[in-house]
Amino acid sequence: MTHGSATTHRTDAGPGRAPGTAPESASPAAADADGGVPQRRLLRTEIPGPRSRALAERRAAVVAAGVASTLPVYVERAGGGVIVDVDGNSFIDLGSGIAVTSVGNAAPAVTRAVQEQVARFTHTCFMVTPYEEYVAVCEALARLTPGDHAKRSVLVNSGAEAVENAVKIARRATGRDAVVVLDHAYHGRTNLTMAMTAKAMPYKTGFGPFAGEVYRVPASYPLREPVPLTGEEAARRATTVIEKQVGADQVACVVVEPVQGEGGFIVPAPGFLPALERWCREHGVLLVADEIQTGFARTGAMFACDHEGVVPDLVTTAKGIAGGLPLAAVTGRAELMDAVHGGGLGGTYGGNPAACAAALAAIDLYEREDLAAAARRIEALVVPRLRALAERAPQIAEVRGRGAMLAVEITRPGGLEPDPAETARIARACAAEGVLVLTCGTYGNVLRLLPPLVIGEDLLLEGLEVLERAILAAG
């Protein structure tokens, strides 16, 4: 992709130092947050290098072509906010494996907890012989998710599986069938969650027929409203469609991402979520918050619903919950969760002990290190820089997001026509310079930043400089 000139940029940011924290104030846990991987950007070869290219050849012969990779460098190790590839290149990670390694990659506390756990037992199946770690994760979820009502949780393996289970529970608890989702929604790749996901390509095209009784209503997308709408007005537009086209009394649940993720890091207008919550209460409809991408300190609060005091009936979590191990959950009001008959929920691996041990260690870091505050510091550092850049870069239509879930929407200058080609060019240019930036959006025109919350300030600023240069290099 690029030339082999070794662009070496060393930074001496304190390992894992959170933005705004002086190195000397870094806590003992943060001090080894990089897992021994130097927190620096370092390019030794062209990208991808010869070893990665050789692996790509082996891959092509055996890995299904439908599985894509954003940046085809093969990873040798990773720590904190840096990914090291098999050619010795070090990348600044502004993606966290899609909002997963928020506590840092290979966070030592998580690694130790997993090692200790797998040495005792690797699996029993909680449905066969239970263990304490599963119970402890559910206790943490009951404590941390929005609302102080009695709660229960079920643990599963992936975000999509959590959403599937939330719908099962909502239907069982309400005795109703219909599921309402929003424009631009992303909820997964299983049959039901494909039906709930908005975007055809690449998620749905050719994979139907899809599960029934899923209805889509307008979201709140402030940048793209033909006429500006308040959150309440946007919610009324959505609930009117539900009432007229579905019937409120047919609806088991409304499923919303409090900040829409894959759809474009869309922050709804203030008041949208509270108005939806009120409408749901009035009509006996369950509000399901899909906090799979937004949860666990990512947006500067433990959960994104917390920003507006919204208390959903059910919450789905995954990604950041376990610092990189596969774990997901549905947490909800005790009476709703317990409406399901015994044996109605489960799965062989759900709440695997290694994943639970990882989650307990990760959750301890979110709380003890106050990583929500770290996410707010990242926002305070990045947003003014990107807003200033937007003054000079006509292709930036909007800078938005919450906490460390930040985005730049790219359009043709002077209007709102999405420019996915320019977006891809910028992401590629960043990768070629050793910075991993992801894209998203219904129109494929959103650059998104999801740095690990423990990223050192200098490393983050260096990544930002590379992004700024890539954006300004428009040609």
Pick the stretch among 117-125, 176-184, 286-294, 428-436 that binds ligand PLZ (CB under 6 A): 286-294
Cβ-based neighbours of 89, under 8 Å, separated by 6 or more: 42, 43, 44, 45, 47, 49, 73, 434
**Interaction between residue 158 and ligand PLZ (CB under 6 A):** yes
Measured CA to CA, the distance from residue 449 to residue 99 in angstroms comes to: 9
Q: Count other Cβ atoms within 10 Å, centred on residue 285.
A: 25
- In the bound state with ligand PLZ, the residue whose beta carbon lies nearer, of 199 and 425, is 199
Write the interaction track for ligand PLZ spanning residues 174-213; mark x where CB under 6 A is met and - where it is not. Answer: ------------xxxx------------------------
Helical H runs in 306-370?
334-337, 353-368
β-pairing, 151-156 with 251-256? unpaired
Single out the residue of 257, 306, 409, 458 in contact with ligand PLZ (rule: CB under 6 A). Answer: 257
How many beta carbons lie within 10 A of that of residue 340, not counting itself?
17
Nearer to ligand PLZ, 395 or 439 (CB): 439
Phi, psi torsion values for 467, nearest 5 degrees: -65, -45
Non-local CB neighbours of 40 within 8 Å, separated by 6+ positions: 9, 10, 11, 82, 90, 459
For residues 292 and 362, which CB has a smaller minimum distance to ligand PLZ in the complex? Answer: 292
Is 159 among the residues that bind ligand PLZ (CB under 6 A)? yes
Q: Which is nearer to ligand PLZ, 144 or 322 (CB)?
A: 322
What is the smallest separation between the CB atom of 96 and ligand PLZ, expressed in angstroms?
11
Residue 293 within binding range of ligand PLZ, rule CB under 6 A: yes
How many angstroms separate the CA atoms of 156 and 138, rounded?
12
Q: Which is nearer to ligand PLZ, 188 or 350 (CB)?
A: 188
User: Burial, 136: exposed, middle or buried (Cβ in 10 Å; 0-12, 13-18, 19+)?
Assistant: middle
The C-alpha atoms of residue 335 and residue 302 are separated, in whole angstroms, by: 24
Nearer to ligand PLZ, 438 or 471 (CB): 438
Measure the CA–CA gap between 237 and 27, rounded to whole angstroms.
Answer: 48
Considering all CA atoms of the chain, what is the largest pairwise distance in Å, rounded to the nearest integer? Answer: 64
The structure tokens listed for 164 are: 């599937």
Evaluate whether 301 touches 266 at the Cβ level (below 8 Å): no
Stretch that binds ligand PLZ, among 147-155, 158-166, 217-225, 444-452 (CB under 6 A): 158-166
Distance CA 462, CA 454 (A): 15
What is the closest distance, in whole angstroms, from the C-beta atom of residue 27 to ligand PLZ in the complex? 30
**Relative orientation angle of helices 231-241 and 272-282, to the nearest 10 degrees:** 40
Min dist. Cβ of residue 428 to ligand PLZ (A): 18
Q: Round to whole Å and give the CA distance between 83 and 89.
A: 8
Task: Give the x/- contact pattern for ligand PLZ in 317-356, rule: CB under 6 A.
Answer: -x--------------------------------------
- Sole binder of ligand PLZ in the list 155, 219, 259, 292 (CB under 6 A): 292
* Among the residue ranges 71-79, 137-145, 257-265, 272-280, the one whose residues contact ligand PLZ (CB under 6 A): 257-265
Q: What residue number has its CB nearest to ligand PLZ?
A: 159
Q: 164, 262, 308, 422: which one contacts ligand PLZ (CB under 6 A)?
A: 262
160 binds ligand PLZ (CB under 6 A): yes
Q: Could you say whether residue 261 binds ligand PLZ (CB under 6 A)?
A: yes
Residue 98 interacts with ligand PLZ (CB under 6 A)? Answer: yes
Kindly state whether residue 85 participates in binding ligand PLZ, applying the rule CB under 6 A: no
**Nearest-approach distance from CB 262 to ligand PLZ, in angstroms:** 5
CB of 188 to ligand PLZ, least distance (A): 4
Q: Where are the alpha helices (DSSP H) in 145-228?
A: 159-174, 191-196
* Residues in contact with ligand PLZ by the rule CB under 6 A: 98, 158-160, 163, 186-189, 257, 261-262, 290, 292-293, 318
